[in-house]
């Protein structure tokens, strides 16, 4: 019998194991962590399946006919024997999915566009399965009643191990350097993003970033920057110029799927955005607080600041909380926008010294915790100012994930003693 080895027992690896089991396929699991997140649940549901944690069990790698790697693991760092078939959860999804697929990637905005497009399709009467890198793992969607269409957010890591996906509509929203702790260079990162266009029926492109797609052979690409609808930024439920870009992309994709413009417009007016993505938290004593904890790279933070200034707040009234795990990024693109728009920067986490080295001493302060950062921001802020958590970094130095980081920020902001 064909034997699969699942590498990684987090959320994605566990979903792979559950799917393989439902298909009656033979598999085992390895994880180099001593206590991976889904270990107890796996052992409860699959007591007879082999699972090895800690140091890699080379014998299991040798035994496997196919190896399924979780997106958080770099295949180049694994002891993969020569000649073994290696792929990820999206490749497995593509081999079994029957309904059409819409595929969305980009350095920033993909979760917002995925959610927004899913809502547009639902309002148009489609039965929709939404997931992938966002929310429900793609393979879990296959265990549910079959929808009319799948809408998947895909990361570069997932795309890098996928070859069989044939999207009805695909888009790369934007591109800026990220994950340079994993990729050899920026071009390698871009090449994985571009794979989303392989075999797609409709390619939706960003005309403002032609370097993403101009080297590809795309038939009749659709530029989402040319999307026109009688909906103004003021009428939209989400704020900021970056969300105008997200709305254009979702609109172009919905039109490819023949969704009526009236449905699109209604959805744009009622959708208020995602948690942890430029999410309004509070407005106390004339100070606005926004949670953009999902801003885990420099490009996301640039987009958040450009989105808020001057549409929501005036230049020079923004206090930025930033820092965390750097992921090998270059923080220098932040310097000019900080000088132009930001009143003060409060730095947290491992990357704080790296960012501080780029700024004059009077423009920043260090905080040892999120509570300390919020208190410092409250001391610095005046009526009419805005405090934005947009870290430009991953969260794993101090928090479980970006949701945990954002939740802690919102809890600190909403404590009355901090807002008196």
pLDDT in tens, 263-294: 999 999 999 888 888 888 999 889 999 999 99
298: domain CATH number is 3.90.190.20
Burial class (CB in 10 A: 0-12, 13-18, 19+), 161: buried
Q: What percent of the chain has pLDDT over 70?
A: 97
- The span from the CA of 143 to the CA of 278, in Å, is 33
Are 104 and 196 within one domain?
A: yes
Beta bridge partners of 279: 291
How, if at all, do strands 287-291 and 279-284 pair? antiparallel
Give me the pLDDT at residue 280, please: 84
Are residues 163 and 198 located together in one domain of the fold? Answer: yes
- Write down which residue in 270, 305, 334 finishes a domain: 270
Q: Which of 87, 107, 140 finishes a domain? A: 87
Same domain, yes or no: 260 and 318: no
Higher pLDDT, 279 or 326: 326
Burial class (CB in 10 A: 0-12, 13-18, 19+), 47: exposed
| pLDDT given for residue 180 in this prediction | 61
Q: What was the pLDDT predicted at 177?
A: 67
Which of 108, 174, 179, 246 is catalytic? The answer is 179
State how far the Cα of 131 lies from the Cα of 114, in Å rounded to an integer: 8
**Four-residue CA torsion sign, 177, 179, 181, 186:** negative
- Give the whole-number percent of the chain exceeding pLDDT 90: 79
**Structural domain for 294, as ranges:** 279-418
Q: Does 214 lie in the same domain as 140?
A: yes
Average pLDDT over residues 251-258: 97
Q: What is the pLDDT of residues 370-399, one digit of tens each?
A: 999 999 999 999 999 999 999 999 998 999
Does the structure show a pLDDT above 70 at 420? Answer: no
Quick check: helix, strand or coil at residue 219?
Answer: coil
Please identify which of the residues 133, 206, 246, 291 carries the catalytic annotation. Answer: 133
Same domain as 255, residue 212: yes
Which of 238, 253, 270 terminates a domain? The answer is 270
Pick left, alpha or beta for residue 318 (phi over 0 → left; psi -120 to 50 → alpha; otherwise beta).
Answer: beta
Peptide bond before residue 310 is cis, with ω within 30 degrees of 0: yes
Tell me: do 53 and 135 sit in the same domain.
no
Where does the pLDDT of residue 356 fall: very low under 50, low under 70, confident under 90, or very high at 90 and above?
A: very high
Six-digit token string for 25: 């396929």
Residue 367 and residue 284 share a domain: yes
Question: In this structure, are 170 and 83 located in the same domain?
Answer: no
CA distance 277 to 84: 40
Q: What is the CATH number of the domain that holds 210?
A: 3.40.1190.10
Is-catalytic flag, 266?
no
- Separation CA 229–CA 248 (nearest Å): 9
22 classed as catalytic: no
Is the same domain home to 124 and 248? yes
Residue 311: pLDDT band by 50, 70, 90 thresholds? confident
pLDDT at 277: 85
Selection from 147, 148, 131 nearest residue 139 by Cα: 131
Q: What's the domain count of the chain?
A: 3
Q: Give the C-alpha separation, 80 to 86, whole Å.
A: 8
Residue 417 has pLDDT above 60, yes or no: no
* Cα radius of gyration (the chain): 22
Mean per-residue pLDDT, 254-263: 97
Q: How far apart are CA 69 and CA 196, in angstroms?
A: 19
Q: Domain of 26: which CATH number?
A: 3.40.50.720
Quick one: CA dihedral 268, 273, 274, 278, positive or negative?
A: positive
DSSP tag of 419: -
The 3 state secondary structure assigned to 14-34 is HHHHHHHHHCCCEEEEEECCC
Helices (H), 64-137: 89-96, 110-123
pTM of this structure? 0.82
pLDDT of the residue at 178: 62
179 is catalytic: yes
Nearest CA to 390 among 345, 333, 350? 345
Does 419 have pLDDT greater than 60? no
Model pLDDT, residue 184? 74
DSSP β-bridge partners for residue 85: 66
Q: Does one domain contain both 348 and 400?
A: yes
Whether residue 234 sits in one domain with residue 98: yes
Residues 124 and 83 in one domain: no
């Amino acid at each position: 019998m064909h034997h699969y080895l699942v590498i990684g027992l987090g959320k994605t690896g566990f979903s792979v194991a559950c799917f393989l089991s439902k298909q009656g396929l033979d598999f085992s699991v390895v994880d180099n962590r001593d206590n991976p997140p889904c270990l107890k649940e796996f052992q409860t549901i699959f007591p007879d399946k082999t699972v090895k944690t800690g140091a890699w069990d080379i014998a299991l790698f040798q035994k496997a006919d196919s190896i399924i790697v979780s997106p958080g693991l770099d295949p180049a760092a694994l002891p993969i024997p020569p000649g073994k078939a290696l792929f990820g959860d999206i490749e497995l999804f593509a081999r079994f999915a029957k309904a059409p697929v819409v595929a969305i990637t980009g350095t920033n905005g993909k979760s917002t566009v995925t959610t927004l497009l899913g809502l547009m399709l639902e309002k148009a009467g489609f039965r929709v399965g939404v997931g992938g890198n966002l929310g429900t793992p793609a393979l879990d969607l296959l265990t549910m009643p079959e929808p009319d269409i799948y809408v998947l957010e895909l990361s570069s890591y997932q795309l890098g191990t996928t070859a069989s996906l044939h999207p009805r509509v695909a888009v790369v929203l934007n591109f800026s350097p990220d994950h340079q702790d994993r990729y050899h260079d920026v071009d390698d990162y871009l090449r994985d993003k571009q794979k989303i266009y392989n075999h797609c029926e409709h390619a939706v492109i960003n005309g403002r970033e032609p370097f993403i797609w101009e080297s590809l052979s795309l038939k009749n690409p659709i530029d989402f920057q040319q999307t026109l609808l009688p909906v103004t930024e003021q009428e939209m439920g989400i704020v900021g110029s970056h969300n105008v870009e997200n709305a254009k992309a979702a609109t172009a994709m919905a039109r490819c799927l023949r969704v009526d413009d009236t449905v699109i417009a209604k959805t744009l007016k009622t959708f208020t955005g995602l948690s942890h993505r430029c999410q309004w938290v509070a407005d106390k004593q004339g100070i606005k607080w926004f949670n953009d904890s999902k801003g885990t790279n420099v490009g996301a933070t640039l987009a958040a600041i450009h989105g808020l200034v001057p549409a929501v707040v005036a230049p020079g009234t923004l206090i930025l909380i930033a820092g965390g795990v750097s992921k090998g990024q270059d923080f220098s693109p932040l310097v000019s926008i900080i000088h132009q728009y930001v009143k003060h920067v409060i730095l947290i986490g491992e990357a704080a010294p790296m960012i501080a080295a780029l700024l004059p001493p009077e423009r920043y302060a260090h905080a040892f915790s999120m509570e300390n950062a919020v208190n410092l921001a409250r001391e610095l802020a005046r009526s009419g100012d805005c405090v934005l958590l947009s870290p430009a970094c991953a969260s794993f130095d101090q928090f479980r994930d970006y949701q945990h980081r954002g939740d802690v920020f919102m809890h600190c902001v909403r404590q009355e003693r901090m807002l008196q």
